[in-house]
Amino acid sequence: MDKNQIKIKTPKAALKFVMEDNLIIFGGDRKKFGTTNETYMFKTKNRTWEKLETNEKVPVSYYPTSVLYNDSMYVFGGNDHSSIFELNLKNLEWNEIQGKGQIPKSRMGHTALVHENEMFVFGGINFQENINNGLFAFDFRSATWNNIPDPQEFPGITERISHTSKYDPKSKRMIVFGGGYKEDGEDKDYNDICIFNFVTRNWEKRFSFDSDPNAPCGRNDHSAVLLNNKMMIFFGCAKDNTIFFDDIYSFQFGSDLSVNMHSFFDDQLLCDIDFVPFEGKSIQAHKDILEARITEPIDTLEREIGLLDHSESRCLLTYIYSGSFEPKSIGHYQKIPAILTKIGMDFEEDRQKAERKLSQDLQKISQMHSCCK
């Protein structure tokens, strides 16, 4: 860029532009010039860059992450430090924060995002080239780290590098796609979507697309955005940076109403009725929603759930809330269709749709995406 196009403003003016959704860039690798700890701001109104003059308390970083919380940018990783470095956007001064608690090891190639008063750091690789597993939460108020245990039902879900993690404020979830990993010493790449629920603080779903020829290949170092209940995947590379992609994919999570109702049930907020399966812990729900969705009295639903185990009960209630039924559940919960009939819901149409989808998936198993060959 021609230097004549760069307009320098004072730090005070820079703060004003930052508060108006301008872009701040910190650190990175400049190829011939090595890594840098410089900080720049791009002003969207006049499309000009400004180098921010800060104090020199922050180390050079390579593949760090940064998040915005209140009036500061927080940087973690990208060097051999386990500290967090805060850039106060009011006075442009860096401060080192020594966290306490279950402090994660230094890393790069991880992701970080903010939910309420916490920063969540996920994945990455340390400087001995060991891929880190685990999800860590840093509480800004107490400067305390906590490790969130790996989910037993999704082994290996947290061992990845150079993936993308996006925050969905509507459902209060983290949506993860792709990333690299090692298997028997070989570099490989995930082709999956993983969903973490911030309300329950649990990993709740994992979708793998290895057999889907319409899905993007497994990849890392890609970009992603969430837009109107859709995830867009851009570019990336694979196989230890020997394959590069110039493609764009989108993944539709479902209708807004379906997703919101599903999330409303999962979040377990403002519930006013308890259902007790014959096996497993009780499940809370919303009486008004159930009464609007079924034609029979709630007592009928309570009796039927009393004959189901916990998993079957959740499957039934999820369908009542969202009107959706996952193809993989068909045939597994044999009792559900009959119960839906008893409480006044038509399952047949959704069963046929789900079976058609399952049939299509089976036909795709033998096919491989051309770019993965």
pLDDT tens by residue, 214-236: 788 889 999 999 877 788 999 99
CA distance 204 to 344: 29
**Is the confidence at residue 183, as pLDDT, over 50?**
yes
In this structure, are 179 and 61 located in the same domain? yes
pLDDT tier at 328 (50, 70, 90 boundaries)? Answer: very low
In this structure, are 262 and 235 located in the same domain? no
Beta-carbon contacts of 334 under 8 Å, excluding residues fewer than 6 positions away, are: none
Q: What is the pLDDT of residue 139?
A: 95
In this structure, are 330 and 228 located in the same domain? no
Task: Find out whether 195 and 283 touch, Cβ atoms under 8 Å.
Answer: no
Q: Which domain holds residue 297?
A: 258-359
Number of structural domains the chain divides into:
2
Distance of CA 20 to the CA centre of its chain: 26
Task: Find out whether 120 and 113 touch, Cβ atoms under 8 Å.
Answer: yes
In this structure, are 110 and 154 located in the same domain? yes
What are the CA-CA distances from residue 157 to residues 115, 123, 193, 326, 342 (Å)? 20, 9, 10, 21, 39
State the CB neighbour count (10 A cutoff) for residue 357.
14
Local structure of 224: helix, strand or coil: strand
CA distance 330 to 315: 11
Mean per-residue pLDDT of the chain? 77
Among 203, 223, 256, where does a domain finish? Answer: 256
In this structure, are 250 and 280 located in the same domain? no
Q: What is the pLDDT of residue 364?
A: 47
**Is the confidence at residue 314, as pLDDT, over 90?**
no
Q: Which of 341, 335, 344 is nearest to 278 (CA)?
A: 335
Among 256, 288, 316, where does a domain finish? Answer: 256
In what helix (H) or strand (E) does residue 25 lie, and over which residues does it extend?
A: strand 23-29
Task: Find out whether 66 and 112 touch, Cβ atoms under 8 Å.
Answer: yes
In this structure, are 137 and 114 located in the same domain? yes
Q: What is the mean pLDDT of residues 172-191?
A: 86
In this structure, are 163 and 272 located in the same domain? no
Pairwise pLDDT comparison (231 vs 366), residue with the higher score: 231
Q: Strand 144-148 relative to strand 100-101: parallel, antiparallel, unpaired?
A: parallel
Q: Which of 172, 190, 173 is nearest to 181 (CA)?
A: 190
CATH number for position 39? 2.120.10.80
CA distance 247 to 268: 39
Task: Find out whether 216 and 246 touch, Cβ atoms under 8 Å.
Answer: no
